[in-house]
Amino acid sequence: MAEPTGRRPSAGDIAPVTPRGFATRAIRAAHRIPIVDQPPTSVPIYQSVTFTTADAAELGAVTTRQIAGYSYGRLDNPTVAAFAAAVAELEGAEAAFAFATGMGAIHGALGTLLSSGDRIVATQASYGTTRAQLLNVFGRLGVRVDFVDVTDLAAVEAALALAPTRVLYAETISNPTIVVADHAALAGLAHRFGATYVVDNTFASPYLCRPLELGADLVCESATKYLSGHSDVMAGVVVGSASLVGRVRDFEVDTGASLDPHAAFLAMRGLSTLALRMERHSATAATLSAWLEAQPGVTRVWHPALASHPQHATAARQLARGGGMLAFELAGGRAAGEAFIDSLSIPARTASLGSVFTIVTHPPSTTHRQLDDAALTAAGITPGLLRCSVGLEDVDDLIADFARALAAAGSVTTPATSSPALGEPARAEPTPV
């Protein structure tokens, strides 16, 4: 009886050869594809780099995307494609393409659009590694980078009018200062000046905000965070129109930030509970923020659900909920922040965000360690600023733990260094870099 090959028959098939040698039989036996007539309830992990085709012509057509299919893992993978398609549906996008990390996704989106001599206007309040990528990678390659306070629409308009601009870049909720960007207004300005509007939506997730529906052209997500939600996988994704995402895919094929299929499987598992988790994250963060705002030794708290937040009205109009991220400033400065973190018993002393467990970090020494004191001040990041990713623990337990940590931080008398309020940086024209 002919041995199954694991692929559909073709008129171009030659007569099968029955192998006799042990090594040949072992290889064929270990790669024989099982026949499954019952559809699985979870997307299978296609842990394969290569895929067979009926003949050389089909292989060429699949590789060059003349017909749908798979040939090589760097070009695409069924599990990875299923994850990207699921995110596209949740984001309200025509298409999506997945990357190995969130920074890979940002690099893919911006690298697709920017060339030497181009200009990008980017939010002053941004993730430290994003800022470093803009300056140290794209800046070194001849891209002009100007930073602006995206909450000051007049300043954004002035920045766009200053010189031709290829990209306007913003974060839905900024890392770590919780500045909320008005996507509808920013997209309108970008398009009026011929720029492409690119958004990092990681802090919000598509459950809270879908920037494409508000006018954005490309949206990046670090799926490491809320999309997967369990701190056990790294992934990123870019969503947008089919034409733009097709260009992003071509860029990734040439640069190689491919997502592993097992990581795609884990990230896809997280999507199923995204709504439930974001509701709990948001509710607990709102309660914890209101409690912190009333505590001595806390000079200010930033969470979109608080009436005191500078962009509270924008958040109420644009976000489904306030989200799970908050920031607060301690009167004792850096030393108080360190004492607070070291006194916590529930949050682990670790990095990242968007997980089932609460994480408290000190941005000047972690996420924004690349910035010098002047850049930190310009971004509204004070020495005593703490960023909190609120997890799924019971809120009463978190409040009790935070109360003990505040007591410990209160024994520190180092004064905080003054700086602009978060979301309210000094008004100035963007400085070319």
**Which tokens in the block code for residue 429?**
């024209």
Residues 246 and 309 in one domain: no
Using CA atoms, how far apart are residues 72 and 63, in angstroms rounded to an integer?
A: 8
Is 228 found in the same domain as 360?
no
Provide block-wise average pLDDT over 10 residues at a time, the chain (433 residues): 46 68 90 91 94 92 92 94 98 98 98 98 93 96 97 98 98 95 98 98 98 98 98 97 97 95 97 98 98 96 98 98 97 90 93 96 72 70 90 98 96 51 39 33
Q: Are residues 171 and 316 in the same domain?
A: no
Q: What is the CATH number of the domain that holds 320?
A: 3.90.1150.10
**The residue count for the chain:** 433
Confidence (pLDDT) at 425: 38
Residues 185 and 201 in one domain: yes
Residue 281 and residue 267 share a domain: no
Distances (CA, A) of 197 to 78, 88, 90, 116, 184: 29, 17, 19, 19, 10
Question: Do 192 and 91 fall within a single domain?
Answer: yes
Residues 161 and 265 in one domain: yes
Beta-strand pair 144-148/119-123: parallel
One domain, residues 314 and 359: yes
Beta carbons within 10 angstroms of residue 407's beta carbon: 13
d(CA 293, CA 299): 8
Same domain membership, residue 185 and residue 281? no
261 and 287, same domain (yes or no): no
Among 250, 271, 292, give the residue marking a domain's end. 271
pLDDT recorded at residue 227: 98
Q: Is residue 192 part of a domain?
A: yes
Q: Is this model's pTM higher than 0.85 or not? A: yes
Residue 131: the pLDDT is 93
- Residues 290, 262 share a domain: no
Q: Is 54 part of any domain? A: no
b/e per residue, 153-179, with b = 16+ CB within 10 A?
A: eebbeebbebeebbbbbbbbbbbbbbb
The CATH number of residue 120's host domain is: 3.40.640.10
pLDDT of residue 369: 64
Residue 65 resides in a domain: no
Total count of domains within the chain: 2
* Boundary of a domain, candidates 271, 297, 327: 271
Question: Which residues belong to the active site?
Answer: 74, 127, 200, 225
Residue 363 has a pLDDT of 82
pLDDT on residue 374 = 73
Whole-angstrom Cα distance, residue 107 to residue 152?
26
Please tell me whether residues 397 and 296 are part of one structural domain.
yes
User: What pLDDT shows up at residue 380?
Assistant: 74
Of the three residues 210, 236, 271, the one that is the final residue of a domain is 271
Look up the domain containing 309 and give its range: 276-410
